[in-house]
């Protein structure tokens, strides 16, 4: 995966629409379109192999609509320009994280010493509980 190519393709191929958003900004939120709705077709993402595209579609399936477009809404800041930057970087980070292949876990067995310690502690605990009973 080529991250610079990915960044360029997001900037060049994405469509952004704007809407009024709630949150910070006072009366400003009622009259300025600061919320960013970013849409980009998955097929137009550059710098990804076919295998990576398949993995991306499965990992980010909740963010992909039936037309095969990735979408993201951002209304964190009061300013539209800042929300645009956040949307682009957030989408790029989500794509990169989706393509990370987790390491396979290697199962381990308890050592002989740890097994013996466990049995010893069980014996001690058993004796403590046995001594709590009534004395005849």
* Domain assignment of residue 113, yes or no: no
Tell me what pLDDT residue 119 has: 97
Tell me the residue range of the domain where 43 lies: 3-98
Tell me what pLDDT residue 7 has: 87
- The CATH number that applies at residue 48 is 3.30.160.20
* Domain assignment of residue 86, yes or no: yes
* Domain count for the chain: 1
* Domain assignment of residue 111, yes or no: no
- Chain segment 22-34, per-residue pLDDT in tens: 766 677 767 888 8
CA distances from 122 to 100, 109, 112, 127, 131 (A): 43, 19, 16, 9, 14
pTM given for the model:
0.71
């Amino acid at each position: 995966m080529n991250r610079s190519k990915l960044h360029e393709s997001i900037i060049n191929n994405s469509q952004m629409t704007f809407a009024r958003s709630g949150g910070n900004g006072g009366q400003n939120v009622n009259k300025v379109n600061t919320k960013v709705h970013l849409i980009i077709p998955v097929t137009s993402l550059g710098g990804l192999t076919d295998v990576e595209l398949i993995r991306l579609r499965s990992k980010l399936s909740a963010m992909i609509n039936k037309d095969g477009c990735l979408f993201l809404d951002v209304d964190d800041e009061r300013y539209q320009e800042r929300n645009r930057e956040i949307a682009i970087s957030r989408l790029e980070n989500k794509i990169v994280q989706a393509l990370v292949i987790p390491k396979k876990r290697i199962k381990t067995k308890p050592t002989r010493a740890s097994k013996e310690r466990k049995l010893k502690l069980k014996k001690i605990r058993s004796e403590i509980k046995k001594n709590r009973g009534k004395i005849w």
